[in-house]
């Protein structure tokens, strides 16, 4: 049932005017898309190295690394194989595997989390036991007792460091093989030197051993890495959420017979039946039937729109009231829903290219630590007249003390704490760099429905005739349409309307004292449409328009005012009708607004602002805003 006037809107965005023709597209050979997993990638330097290695391969056109998902997406000519790319990555020190898109990434993520947690538990157990031994040593035990405790500590510490240090050792070795000094190189050196020197001192009855320091260092570094892993795993990819909305099967009409087939077997030109309550499995044109369609996923429109013969519909939209027969124009990977998922995936790839403050510091910090350690070794060799044992101890102490434990632990700890507090307030942080990027924002782009407004219509206060209002409420209480529900909630005694009947795509009708009364679309009831969100009543030979507004979300005005006080530019972009968006913008004092925007057009607007040098924050409530 349609209770709102369907205003004309452009069928294509401005970008379509300069898009290549079908003949031009057909003349091009589409590139192959390959996806590889990168289990050892963990920092901005890894992104640069991997992408450079991929682009150096003949036939590769583009390469993007998603650090959150530990994947690289490569577009290349059809002759390039995954094996070629794996070999190129191996040459620069990265393990890679061809990724099966049909498999969920959660299995691998859970396995990595379990491995880190297991190593963390082993490190904690060993650390506590070695510290018990160290108490006896540092409290002045005799030489024989001290040596015994040192050997027991060694038997616990050596296998522990070998086992729990593997994530750091593998990463450090991969960096050294290609001439890089990542953060894990000084970490690995500190662990190895602390353990080796402690073993040497124990073998020669030395007074000091540092097994406790080596294992404690391992524990806290692993704790930081596990916290980082958990913060990444908290957020499921929005692209995967969109993919989950794809309908796997469609009901085809073959010679008038209904046949259920997988989407992969649906071709352009087929006839597809979509029943009320079903999600559109394909893009298509309505050839039969009338209904209302919920387009909130793709456009953010707050109210259902009318769909009849000739109406374009898209995969992911929901058919609400009546059966529709569609002629397929696009299915599967070519559908609007899949294209939106691709847009989201590309946006997520772009976000991971941001270099964090910790990563920028590590680029300078790691070489500096090694220079300090070697300088200390050289100085004490000269100052002590060649005492190798003392110089090595000092050099190792410098490495241990300056080991980037703070960077490895503090950064993920802060991100985890901040993310947890924000999550309790209803904000999910998908990547730790978002917190740093927020400090640079100068422009805030808001979605309307569900963000600045509640997404629920509210009847505009007006002097409506009591008799008309009573009839409208009686009809509205027989419908589930959002506008009807808003009317039905009014504290009004309803008229005695009988024989209620819903007309899909148009409205609801009944009888009052034997005469037909209707509530719905303007042309259906014979009313003159008004340029606002409204539903129309026909009763007693007259018509009455009931206007609605979208209720502002509590705190929206205060939030806009606070951002404006900070010097931020405010923009409103919505897929809703012009009159609706203009009304909300006027109530919030926003002068820069855009209506009728599709997801691709929102993306183009944000990219345009970014290209102009602005730091943009997009605020939305759903997948269509991602």
User: In sequence order, what are the residues at sequence separation of 6 or more whose Cβ sits closer than 8 angstroms to the Cβ of residue 410?
Assistant: 224
Q: Partners of 617 in the beta sheet? A: 444
User: In sequence order, what are the residues at sequence separation of 6 or more whose Cβ sits closer than 8 angstroms to the Cβ of residue 456?
Assistant: 482, 486, 550, 551
Q: How far is CA 294 from the centre of its chain?
A: 23
Query: Of the segments 40-54, 89-103, 235-249, 502-516, which one has the largest average pLDDT value?
Result: 502-516
Q: Which residues are known to be catalytic?
A: 447
Antiparallel, parallel or unpaired: β 507-512 and 249-254:
unpaired
User: What dotted CATH number matches 455-552?
Assistant: 3.40.1110.10
Neighbour-count burial of 258, counting CB atoms closer than 10 A to its CB (0-12 exposed, 13-18 middle, 19+ buried): exposed
pLDDT of amino acid 159? 94
| CA proximity to 408, closest of 184, 233, 169 | 184
Q: Which residues of 296-335 are buried (b: 16+ CB within 10 A; e: fewer)?
A: bbbbbbbbbbbbbeebebbbbbbbbbbebbbebbbbbeeb
Q: Which residues of 513-546 are buried (b: 16+ CB within 10 A; e: fewer)?
A: eeeebbbbbbebbebeeeebbbbbbbbeeebbbb
Neighbour-count burial of 105, counting CB atoms closer than 10 A to its CB (0-12 exposed, 13-18 middle, 19+ buried): middle
pLDDT of amino acid 6? 41
Three-class SS state of 246: coil
Q: Which of 50-64, 90-104, 282-296, 362-376 has the lowest mean pLDDT?
A: 90-104
C-alpha gyration radius of the chain: 32
Torsion of CA 406, 410, 411, 415, to 10 degrees: 180
For 193, other C-beta atoms within 10 Å of its C-beta total 21
Residues 301 and 459: their CA atoms lie apart, in Å, by: 18
Fold of 440-452+553-625: Rossmann fold (3.40.50)
Domain map of the chain by residue range?
31-103, 109-233+354-419, 249-328, 440-452+553-625, 455-552
Q: Answer whether 416's CB lies under 8 Å from 429's CB.
A: no
The arithmetic mean of pLDDT across residues 444-465, rounded, is: 78
Give 13 or 62, the one with higher predicted confidence.
62
pLDDT of amino acid 163? 94
Whether 434 shows a pLDDT value over 80: the answer reads: no
Give 118 or 600, the one with higher predicted confidence.
118
Give 598 or 510, the one with higher predicted confidence.
510
Residues 532 and 538: their CA atoms lie apart, in Å, by: 18
Domains 249-328 and 440-452+553-625 share a fold: no
User: In sequence order, what are the residues at sequence separation of 6 or more whose Cβ sits closer than 8 angstroms to the Cβ of residue 159?
Assistant: none
Q: How confident is the model at residue 17 (pLDDT cuts 50, 70, 90)?
A: very low
Query: Where does residue 386 fall: left (phi above 0), alpha (psi -120 to 50 degrees), or beta otherwise?
Result: left
Neighbour-count burial of 35, counting CB atoms closer than 10 A to its CB (0-12 exposed, 13-18 middle, 19+ buried): middle
Compute the mean pLDDT over every residue in the chain, rounded to the nearest whole number.
78
Residues 330 and 340: their CA atoms lie apart, in Å, by: 14
| Residue 197 backbone phi and psi in degrees, to 5 | -65, -40
User: What dotted CATH number matches 249-328?
Assistant: 2.70.150.10
Q: Which of 196-200, 251-255, 547-551 has the lowest mean pLDDT?
A: 547-551
pLDDT of amino acid 396? 78
Whether 443 shows a pLDDT value over 80: the answer reads: yes
CATH top-level class for 31-103?
alpha beta
């Amino acid at each position: 049932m349609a209770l709102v006037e369907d205003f004309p809107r452009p069928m294509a965005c401005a970008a379509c005017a300069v898009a290549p023709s079908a003949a031009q597209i057909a003349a091009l050979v589409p590139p192959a898309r390959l996806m590889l997993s990168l289990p050892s990638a963990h920092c901005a330097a890894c992104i640069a190295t991997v992408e450079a290695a991929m682009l150096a391969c003949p036939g590769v056109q583009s390469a993007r690394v998603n650090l959150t998902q530990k994947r690289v997406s490569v577009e290349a000519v059809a002759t390039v194989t995954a094996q070629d790319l794996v070999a190129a990555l191996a040459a620069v020190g990265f393990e890679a595997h061809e990724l099966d898109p049909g498999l969920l990434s959660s299995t691998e993520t859970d396995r990595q989390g379990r491995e880190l947690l297991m190593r963390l538990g082993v490190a904690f157990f060993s650390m506590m036991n070695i510290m018990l031994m160290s108490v006896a040593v540092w409290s002045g035990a005799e030489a024989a007792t001290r040596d015994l405790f040192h050997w027991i500590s060694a038997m616990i510490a050596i296998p522990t460091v070998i086992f729990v240090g593997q994530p750091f050792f593998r990463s450090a070795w991969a960096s050294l093989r290609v001439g890089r000094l990542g953060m894990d190189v000084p970490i690995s050196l500190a662990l190895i030197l602390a353990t080796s020197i402690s073993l040497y001192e124990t073998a020669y009855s030395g007074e000091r051993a540092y097994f406790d320091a080596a294992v404690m260092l391992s524990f806290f570094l692993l704790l930081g890495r596990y916290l980082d892993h958990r913060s990444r795993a908290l957020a499921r990819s929005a692209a995967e959420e969109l993919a989950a909305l794809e309908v796997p099967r469609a009901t085809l009409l073959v010679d008038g017979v209904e046949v259920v087939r997988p989407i992969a077997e649906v071709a352009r030109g087929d006839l597809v039946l979509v029943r009320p309550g079903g999600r559109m499995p394909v893009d298509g044109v309505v050839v039969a039937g009338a209904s209302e369609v919920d387009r909130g996923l793709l456009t953010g429109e707050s109210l259902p729109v009318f769909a009849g013969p000739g109406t374009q519909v898209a995969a992911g939209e929901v058919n609400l009231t009546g059966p529709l027969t569609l002629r397929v124009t696009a299915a599967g990977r070519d559908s609007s829903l899949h294209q939106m998922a691709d847009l989201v995936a590309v946006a997520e790839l772009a976000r991971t290219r941001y270099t964090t403050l910790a990563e920028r510091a590590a680029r300078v910090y790691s070489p500096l630590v090694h220079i300090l350690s070697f300088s200390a070794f050289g100085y004490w060799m000269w100052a002590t007249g060649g005492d190798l044992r003392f110089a090595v101890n000092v050099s190792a102490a410098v490495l241990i003390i300056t080991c980037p434990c703070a960077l490895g632990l503090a950064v993920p700890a802060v991100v985890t704490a901040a993310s947890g507090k924000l999550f309790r307030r209803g904000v999910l942080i998908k990547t730790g760099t978002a917190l740093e990027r927020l400090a640079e924002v100068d422009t805030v782009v808001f979605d309307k429905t569900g963000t600045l407004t509640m997404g629920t219509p509210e009847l505009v206060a007006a002097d409506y005739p009591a008799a008309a209002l009573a009839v409208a409420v009686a009809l509205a209480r027989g419908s589930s349409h959002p506008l009807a529900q808003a009317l039905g909630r009014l504290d009004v005694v309803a008229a005695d309307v009988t024989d209620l009947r819903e007309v899909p795509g148009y409205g609801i009708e009944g009888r009052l004292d034997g005469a037909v009364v209707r509530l719905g679309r303007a042309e259906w009831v014979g009313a003159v449409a008004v340029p606002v969100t409204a539903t129309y009543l026909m009763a007693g030979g007259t018509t009455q328009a009931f206007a609605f507004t979208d209720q502002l979300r509590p705190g929206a005005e205060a939030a806009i005012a606070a951002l404006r006080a900070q010097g931020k530019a405010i923009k409103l972009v919505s897929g809703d009708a012009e009159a609706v968006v203009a009304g909300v913008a006027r109530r919030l004092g926003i002068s820069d607004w855009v209506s009728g925007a599709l997801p691709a057009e929102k993306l183009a607007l944000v990219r345009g602002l970014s290209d102009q040098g602005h730091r943009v924050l997009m605020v939305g409530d759903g997948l269509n805003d991602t």
